[in-house]
Chains A and B, each alone.
Chain A
């Protein structure tokens, strides 16, 4: 669906809250390292789906929530989200011209940009975590994107009717 109908703000907030909870669920460290960035996926889905309402600014605000919950420097995740959302806004038409399965490949660099922003800011802040598994969520998020986007699309359709 290239041009999507308006969904209610409530739906956006609820889906964001649910994915935030999934992101925070306690897990063993090994699984946690590879956990797809559900929250980021939801933010980017709404950016792609409702670009008139959910742009970089909304993504930035959404990222602040992660900063508060993770205790990371203020606006670190906000900035990463905003940059990723900007990429999605710019490439949105290209994105929707492909079926969901193939969007996986297109989203891979977007998630990589997101993770790289975090990696970069962490590095500047002196938190130098350069382990290969740091990049696992990029792949797991991209892999899961078709399923996640499909679910969110169905939910949006249910509401719009």
Chain B
């Protein structure tokens, strides 16, 4: 180990520990740790503390990219002006649509009230910056600059301008980690917008492809179909675009179709994302098991007493 000189190597009852024995002990410790980590959330404080200690390394790794971005913006004034123009046009356009939205939302709520439906389309949003993408090419997640002190909680959905990106899986006070829909461990309940067909889209480990493994051979689905989140299972908010079908293969003799879809969100390019959650969570899913451990109810929902208390109740 670090700092040990030759004569004070690890000893046990006066004998030197054989390296093989050391390895076996390490293996046992590792396996126990992995099992505990998998089953409980009890290691998250240790992980959080170590993550804070390793923050400088992470920041150093981000620096070249950030610096290059900064320099590019600094020297590229023409580009900035152009971008600014585009953005203000976009703002105008969106504000125009927003005026309609307010009226539509009110109408929608009245109609829903008539139907005695408890669901709400009111959604709170919080802008988060994407600090880092997974350096491990086989796991798809991003690190966000908002943590439990900003009201982020486990299970919150992450979207960008074009669709659903993923959901929050770990929260520390200052930052959080979200799994992307393209992670092979992630499945998202979707429906085909054209037909209402329900299915599940599963990540593949590549940021540009999801698979739909559970569609029977006679399912009505074709290339170009938009998949939107169905909200079933409760983890993801309903009716956000998720992916567009890019490939449908009928395999003779197989029971299921081979369907591939491309996520509509920019999973590997964006720098900013939105965290969304329902302020009125009557028909909300039971919050994920470990949400309680991650701390406070969302801060942004504090001004909305019902939202905050509902969240607590759900936990």
Contact = CB atoms under 8 A, between A and B. Distances in A.
A86 B170 contact: no
A126 to B, nearest CB: 7
B50 A68 contact: yes
Interface in B1-57: 1-6, 9-10, 19-20, 22-23, 26-27, 29-31, 33-34, 36-38, 43, 46-47, 50-51, 54, 57
Contacts of B30: 60, 75-76, 78-79, 82
A23 interface: yes
A65 interface: yes
Contacts of A157: none
B96 interface: no
A65 B19 contact: no
A54 B141 contact: no
A72 B38 CA distance: 10
Interface string A1-24: 000000001001100010011011
Interface string B51-76: 10010011011101100000000000
A73 to B, nearest CB: 4
Contact of A24 (B135, B177, B185): B135
Interface in A125-151: 125-129, 131, 134
Contacts of B26: 56-57, 60, 78-79, 82
A71 B57 CA distance: 15
A136 to B, nearest CB: 10
A52 B54 CA distance: 26
Nearest to A69: B54
A74 B36 contact: yes
A44 interface: no
Nearest to A28: B268
B47 A74 contact: yes
Contacts of B252: none
B139 A72 contact: yes
Interface string B249-264: 0000000000000000
A95 interface: no
A65 to B, nearest CB: 6
Nearest to A78: B30
Contacts of A73: 33-34, 37-38
Contacts of B185: 126-127
Contacts of A89: 19
Contacts of B61: 20-21, 23-26
Contacts of A64: 50
B50 A65 contact: yes
Given A65-B50, A75-B33, A90-B19, A53 B139 contact: no
Interface of A: 9, 12-13, 17, 20-21, 23-26, 29, 32-33, 52-58, 60, 64-65, 68-76, 78-79, 82-83, 86, 89-90, 121-122, 125-129, 131, 134
26 contacts: A12-B2, A20-B61, A21-B60, A24-B58, A24-B61, A26-B132, A52-B4, A52-B5, A52-B6, A53-B1, A54-B2, A55-B1, A65-B54, A65-B57, A68-B51, A69-B57, A70-B135, A70-B139, A74-B36, A74-B43, A75-B30, A75-B31, A75-B34, A82-B26, A82-B27, A134-B138
Interface of B: 1-6, 9-10, 19-20, 22-23, 26-27, 29-31, 33-34, 36-38, 43, 46-47, 50-51, 54, 57-58, 60-62, 64-65, 132-139, 141, 170, 177, 184-185, 205-207, 268
